[in-house]
Structure 1
């Protein structure tokens, strides 16, 4: 049951990562179109800037669960490298619970903001004036999925669930980290 939850959440995070990638590609294409319209055709642009900002922002929030899944969030691991495995595991559990607590608070706040935009029929203040609930929907969706991914990461720590973990890189330690060159006995050539 736990492994099924972890697998489903991991796959949902991967699906949102694909969506985030498509949003970034779309934003990039719109920037190219905007440059062509503005500087080659010498015409005004109306919707492009807002669209790019909204899609890039949505990509950030929708891609965050995948980044957590892959361990790509910025972290300071100096303390983690100096302690034993048991302490390291405890630090990861505490950090995951704190991250989950932050994401729950952000989920609630972003849901309230999204709901207010939906109920109040808020519009963006630009000439294009899209309904704001559309770009704001990415925030509660992203934070909700980030909460689910944090729960999956916590469950992995408690039950040591390893779902087809990739093999560590050649020369990597037990955590899959490649040591710095100064810690190697011989510098690879």
Structure 2
């Protein structure tokens, strides 16, 4: 599994220190962004665990106790939506999103750096649009007091908040990765997978 850009830069910094070079340590702001991504990755995992426990509770109440449930189904849906969106920056930090590495395999290091920067810029533009429209939807749900149409009547602004929050955190991680791609050590660049044959 590939290391995160910060881990690769730290590895490069250690190598540079042994060689008498300094200055390879990533800026504090970028390390703070990666720490923030990790925190929300843990939060997303907790939300998934909570949804599993709520599902088990719902099955027990319906199957064993023979009573109807009111809030469990909605809670699981909202938790999974939140976990998916809030987990975006952590998955990006680990380079866990689906990608095609055929072209990077064919490029030299400079070409891979340029390609990584272009891909990051395009992704940042898309994420910025999602953040903008996600904030509009959240504000609309907040201002109009939208609630779910179920008996539970859950305030929908809480769910809509996960859209701008998740994409905002994702945007921060993308900006950090853009810095690593543009100015980081060669170790910070995405590496083609040597175990995969282009044939």
Gap regions ≥5 residues in structure 1: 166-173, 184-189
Deviations 1:39-82 (A, max 9, x none): 11111011000000000110000000011111111011111111
Determine the C-alpha separation between the residues in 1 that align with 2:185 and 2:104: 21
Structure with the greater relative contact order (CA < 8 A, sep ≥ 6): 1 or 2? 2
Q: How does 1:1-189 map to 2 (within 5 A)?
A: 3-160=27-184, 175=191, 177-180=193-196
Determine the C-alpha separation between the residues in 2 that align with 1:56 and 1:44: 22
Deviations 1:108-149 (A, max 9, x none): 000000000000000011121111001111111100001111
TM-score normalised per structure 2: 0.82
User: Deviation at 1:2?
Assistant: 6.0
Pair 38,178 (structure 1): closer, same or farther in 2 beyond 3 Å:
farther
Pair 122,158 (structure 1): closer, same or farther in 2 beyond 3 Å:
same
Preserved CA contact (<8 Å) 2:89 2:166: yes
Gap regions ≥5 residues in structure 2: 1-24
Determine the C-alpha separation between the residues in 1 that align with 2:52 and 2:115: 39
Q: Give the length in aligned residue pairs.
A: 173
The alignment partner of 2:191 has SS state of coil
Pair 54,139 (structure 1): closer, same or farther in 2 beyond 3 Å:
same
Determine the C-alpha separation between the residues in 2 that align with 1:162 and 1:47: 50
Pair 161,3 (structure 1): closer, same or farther in 2 beyond 3 Å:
farther
RMSD: 2.0
TM-score normalised per structure 1: 0.86
Poorly superposed stretches of 4+, deviation over 2 Å: 174-178
Preserved CA contact (<8 Å) 1:156 1:162: no
